[in-house]
């Protein structure tokens, strides 16, 4: 059994969000797994249900809603090896093959999207849980109407999955790949 990642705590500590004030994440419709909406427009749907969770908003002790700024440092949820880095529509995505194996021998992969990877994060790099791997990308040049945010996906894949299958074009809307809800793996 996989122990849930302390991603929220890591992220709060790394980015000093606890000073003064992180209390909880806030999710508007479309930010959570499998939800249909484009949360940044309020009235349109995505081309396919959301393949992960978008971390963007949190509530402070006074009940005010704040947002993660561009350059927020991103810690790894789990240890593993970097198996792909590719472009996405707001920045880059890092694919990490974790050490956790399910009953059928598939590995839990984590995808961090809309980010700018640190220079030493290359394909083949080994990372530990809590390592800082990236910052949230500034999306202003690509899609100024979409606020910068961290997207996380989790999916089970055979360890031998070819690298050229690991990109958004192949993964989105495909029945071959089974994304799971990242919140199952995160202490939030």
Q: State yes or no: residue 90 binds Zn ion (CB under 5 A).
A: no
Interface map 140-159 toward Zn ion (x if CB under 5 A): -----------x--------
Listed ranges 51-59, 60-68, 99-107, 139-147: which one lies at the site for Zn ion (CB under 5 A): 51-59
**Cα angle at 170 between 72 and 158, to 5 degrees?**
85
Interface map 100-139 toward Zn ion (x if CB under 5 A): ----------------------------------------
Q: State yes or no: residue 56 binds Zn ion (CB under 5 A).
A: no
Structure tokens at 133: 């791997």
DSSP per-residue letters across 6-63: -HHHHHHHHTTTTTTTEEEEE--TTSSTT--B-TTTSS-B-SS--SSEEE-EEEETTS
Smallest distance, Zn ion to C-beta of residue 54, A? 4
**Pick from 88, 92, 140: nearest CA to 116:** 92
Question: Which residue, 125 or 146, is less far from Zn ion as judged by CB?
Answer: 146
Cα distance between residue 154 and residue 183, in whole Å: 9
Cα distance between residue 76 and residue 84, in whole Å: 15
Smallest distance, Zn ion to C-beta of residue 55, A? 9
Give the dihedral of Cα atoms 179, 88, 97, 132; nearest 10 deg: -120
Question: Which residue, 51 or 100, is less far from Zn ion as judged by CB?
Answer: 51
Question: Which residue, 125 or 179, is less far from Zn ion as judged by CB?
Answer: 179
Total residues in contact with Zn ion, by rule CB under 5 A? 2
Q: State yes or no: residue 54 binds Zn ion (CB under 5 A).
A: yes
User: For binding to Zn ion (CB under 5 A), which residues are involved?
Assistant: 54, 151
């Amino acid at each position: 059994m996989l122990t849930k990642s302390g991603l929220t705590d890591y992220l709060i500590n790394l980015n000093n969000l606890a000073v003064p004030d992180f209390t909880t994440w806030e999710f508007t419709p479309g930010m959570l797994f499998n939800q249909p909406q484009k949360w940044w427009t309020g009235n349109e749907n995505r081309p396919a249900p959301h393949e992960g969770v978008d971390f963007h908003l949190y509530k402070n002790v006074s009940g005010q809603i704040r947002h993660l700024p561009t350059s927020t440092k991103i810690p790894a949820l789990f240890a593993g090896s970097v198996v792909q880095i590719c472009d996405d529509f707001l920045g880059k995505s890092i694919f990490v093959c974790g050490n956790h194996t399910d009953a059928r021998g598939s590995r839990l992969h984590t995808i961090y999207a809309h980010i700018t990877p640190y220079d030493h994060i290359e394909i083949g790099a080994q990372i530990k849980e809590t390592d800082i791997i990236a910052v949230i990308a500034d999306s202003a040049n690509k899609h100024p109407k979409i606020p910068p945010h961290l997207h996380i996906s989790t999916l089970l894949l055979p360890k031998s999955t070819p690298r050229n299958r690991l990109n958004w074009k192949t993964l989105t809307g495909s029945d071959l790949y089974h994304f799971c809800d990242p919140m199952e793996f995160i202490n939030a």
